[in-house]
Amino acid sequence: MMQGRQAPAFDRGVVTTIHQGDCLVGGEEDLTFSTILGSCIAACIRDVEARVGGMNHFLLAEPSGSARDRYGASARYGAFAMEQLINKVLTRGSGRKANLEIKVFGGGLINSALTDVGAKNIEFVRQFLADEGYTLAGEDVGGAFARRVMFKPHSGRAFVKRLDSDAGASVEREELSIVRKRAAPRAPAPAVDIELF
C-alpha cells in the first residue's frame, strides 16, 4: 500500500459544456466547465484573487493567407477568442492582469489530414500569451490523442483525461468537417446583367 498524499477527488458539480467557438466565465463554487479537444485549443483563465474564471475553445483551421501572417485569417479568430476570454475574466474579476492564472490544453494530432493544425494552434496560443506578457501556469498540449478537459473556475483545478480511439474518432470527424467547410472554395458570384441608360 502506497503511503502519501493523494490529490482530492475531482468533484464535477454542475457541468457546463464548452463547444467549439464558445467562451464562458463563472465563479460559482460547484461550477465545472467541460470540453473535448482534438487539434483545438481550450484556454482556462482564472482570476486567483476574485476566484472567477472561464474557458474558451477554438480551432485555427484555415491555411495561411500570406507569408506575413503565418497563421492566416484564422489567427484573427484565435486572437479574438483569447482576448474575449481575458476581457471577460478581468471584467468579472479584480480587473488586474497580474492576478490571471492561465492554463492551455489541446493541440493534438488526431488525423494526418490535420497534421499542422494542432501544432499551429499550440504555437499560436503560446506566442499570443508571450506577446501579451502572460506566462503559462500549466499546459497539456500535443500528443496523438483527443482529450476531455474539465476546469473549476472557482478553485482553478483542471482535470485532463486522454480519450480512447473511439471517442477520438468522433472528435476527428467533427474537426475535419469544420476544416473542410472553411477550406471549400467559394463559388464565384453569378454574372448580373446590368443595363445602363
Q: How far is CA 20 from the centre of its chain?
A: 8
Contact between 79 and 125 under an 8 Å Cβ cutoff? The reply is no
The predicted pLDDT at position 164 comes to 76
CATH number for the domain formed by residue range(s) 14-181: 3.30.1330.200
Residue 117 binned pLDDT confidence (cut-offs 50, 70, 90)? confident
Instruction: Give the sign of the dihedral formed by CA 126, CA 43, CA 41, CA 77.
Output: negative
Residue 162 burial class via C-beta count within 10 angstroms: exposed 0-12, middle 13-18, buried 19 and up: middle
The beta strands (E) that lie in 73-146 are given as 100-106, 136-141
Residues 6+ apart with CB under 8 A from 140: 105, 147, 149, 160
pTM: 0.77
Locate the domains of the chain by residue range: 14-181
Quick: pLDDT tens for 18-33. 998 899 999 999 999 9
Q: Are strands 158-162 and 41-47 parallel, antiparallel or unpaired?
A: unpaired
Residue 42 burial class via C-beta count within 10 angstroms: exposed 0-12, middle 13-18, buried 19 and up: buried
Per-residue cell: 75 = 489567427
Residue 169 binned pLDDT confidence (cut-offs 50, 70, 90)? low
Least confident interval from 12-16, 95-99, 183-187 = 183-187
